[in-house]
């Protein structure tokens, strides 16, 4: 009686005390039931949290699937290199140019004494021929200058072929390559949300192979782009998969191993992404052409589709979706490869949980 009166004096009502006691009882019952039911990690430990099955899936599918992210994340940098360029003159004059000294006689010069990359003299070809032959002096300060009328000539000996030389994205179009890169990054922004939604609602497996399909198609589409607009569309589609093509395998790897191996999975997914970056440098050096580079970075992704018949849906995702039988079936297959059996006791506990 004294204790009840003291609690009432402290501001507790009888009804509040009863609610608090009921809450404590319910909490204890829940904790006791959870300890009896067990968790998915317990079931995974029973069939092997990092056995033969996990090693095959991780090293043949999950880890190598992080390479495409490294290949495509920065390949556009190599595709957009700006080669040395100048205004293209008439075909007759181009055939007579033998050295850079000739160019300085035929084209305007900058304040540093170099040939202007974006302007030419607004004179006839006959006048330029007379200047080249020494018949008429070149009046660099008096002749009017104009934008390049016949396009540009690119020095491809110093820089590999790129979209800049292919689509003549220089001078008044020099903002086009950064624009394409911005569209690529915008695709990444939307792709994270899109494939995250697909992964959570339709499964990790479907999201992974759909992401892979988009990346392969858009990668080859990049190389066959007939114009800059088509190139931007293809790069936006590739951007949708970056970095989703790394995040989804990373999540799959974490959900197939036990807690003590998740740090290992994290480190090695980053390692294989870095390996993709190193491979990109070698591919860019050997290809020397932006179209070939787009093909050789997309082609290695095709063999990953063979994993469609071997990579099951994440049992953790199935459990969260209420697909208990599918999750248990996957665990049984894991146990068969790992040489361990999933007992009926653990199976019943998963169903109860």
Q: Mean of the pLDDT values across residues 175-179?
A: 94
**Which domain range does residue 244 map to?**
50-80+196-347
Of 307, 308, 284, give the one whose Cα is nearest residue 296. 284
- Name residue 109's beta-bridge partners: 115
Determine, yes or no, domain membership for 1: no
167 in Cβ contact with 144 (< 8 Å): no
Q: How far apart are the first and last CA of the chain?
A: 42
What gap in Å lies between CA 292 and CA 208, rounded to an integer? 26
pLDDT in tens, 273-284: 999 999 999 999
48 in Cβ contact with 334 (< 8 Å): yes
What gap in Å lies between CA 81 and CA 165, rounded to an integer? 9
> With 0-12 CB in 10 A as exposed, 13-18 as middle and 19+ as buried, what is 43?
buried
Helices (H) and strands (E) in the chain, counts: 19, 4
Q: Mean of the pLDDT values across residues 99-127?
A: 81
Determine, yes or no, domain membership for 74: yes
Question: According to the model, what pLDDT value does residue 30 have?
Answer: 59
Same domain, 75 and 140: no
Percent with pLDDT over 90 in the chain: 45
Q: Which of 154, 171, 206 is a domain's end point?
A: 154
Question: According to the model, what pLDDT value does residue 35 have?
Answer: 44
Poorest-pLDDT segment among 11-25, 178-192, 255-269: 11-25
pLDDT band at residue 135, thresholds of 50, 70 and 90? low
Determine, yes or no, domain membership for 38: no
Question: According to the model, what pLDDT value does residue 28 have?
Answer: 63
Structural domain total, the chain: 2
- Kindly tell me if the per-residue pLDDT of 347 is higher than 90: no
Same domain, 252 and 333: yes
Same domain, 73 and 97: no
Same domain, 281 and 340: yes
Question: According to the model, what pLDDT value does residue 1 have?
Answer: 46
pLDDT band at residue 140, thresholds of 50, 70 and 90? low
Poorest-pLDDT segment among 20-29, 66-75, 82-91, 159-168: 20-29
151 in Cβ contact with 166 (< 8 Å): no
- Tracing tokens 């990092």 back to the chain, one arrives at 50
What gap in Å lies between CA 332 and CA 233, rounded to an integer? 44
């Amino acid at each position: 009686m004294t204790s009840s009166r003291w609690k009432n004096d402290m501001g507790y009502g009888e009804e509040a005390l009863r609610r608090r006691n009921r809450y404590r009882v319910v909490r204890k019952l829940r904790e006791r039931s959870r300890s009896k039911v067990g968790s998915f990690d317990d079931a995974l430990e029973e069939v092997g949290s990092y056995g033969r099955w996990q090693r095959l899936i991780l090293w043949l599918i999950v880890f190598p699937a992080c390479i495409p992210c490294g290949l495509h994340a920065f390949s556009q940098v190599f595709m957009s290199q700006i080669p040395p360029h100048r205004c293209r003159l008439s075909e007759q004059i181009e055939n007579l140019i033998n050295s850079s000294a000739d160019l300085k006689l035929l084209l305007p010069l900058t304040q540093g004494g170099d040939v202007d990359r974006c302007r030419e003299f607004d004179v006839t070809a006959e006048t330029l021929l007379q200047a080249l032959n020494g018949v008429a002096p070149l009046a660099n300060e008096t002749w009017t200058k104009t934008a390049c009328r016949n396009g540009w000539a690119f020095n491809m000996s110093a820089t590999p072929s790129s979209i800049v030389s292919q689509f003549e994205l220089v001078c008044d179009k020099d903002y086009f390559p950064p624009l394409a890169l911005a569209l690529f990054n915008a695709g990444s922004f939307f792709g994270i949300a899109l494939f995250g939604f697909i992964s959570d609602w339709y499964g990790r497996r479907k999201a992974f192979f759909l992401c892979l399909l988009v990346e392969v198609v858009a990668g080859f589409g990049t190389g066959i782009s007939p114009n800059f607009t088509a190139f931007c569309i293809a790069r936006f589609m590739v951007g949708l998969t970056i970095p989703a093509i790394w995040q989804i395998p990373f999540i799959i790897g974490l959900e197939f191993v036990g807690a003590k191996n998740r740090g290992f999975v994290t480190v090695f997914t980053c390692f294989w992404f870095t390996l993709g970056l190193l491979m990109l440098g070698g591919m860019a050096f050997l290809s020397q052409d932006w179209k070939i580079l787009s093909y050789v970075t997309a082609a290695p992704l095709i063999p990953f589709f063979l994993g469609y018949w071997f990579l099951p849906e994440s049992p953790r995702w199935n459990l969260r979706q209420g697909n208990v039988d599918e999750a248990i079936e996957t665990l049984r297959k894991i146990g068969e490869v790992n040489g361990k059996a999933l007992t009926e006791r653990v199976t019943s506990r998963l169903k109860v949980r």
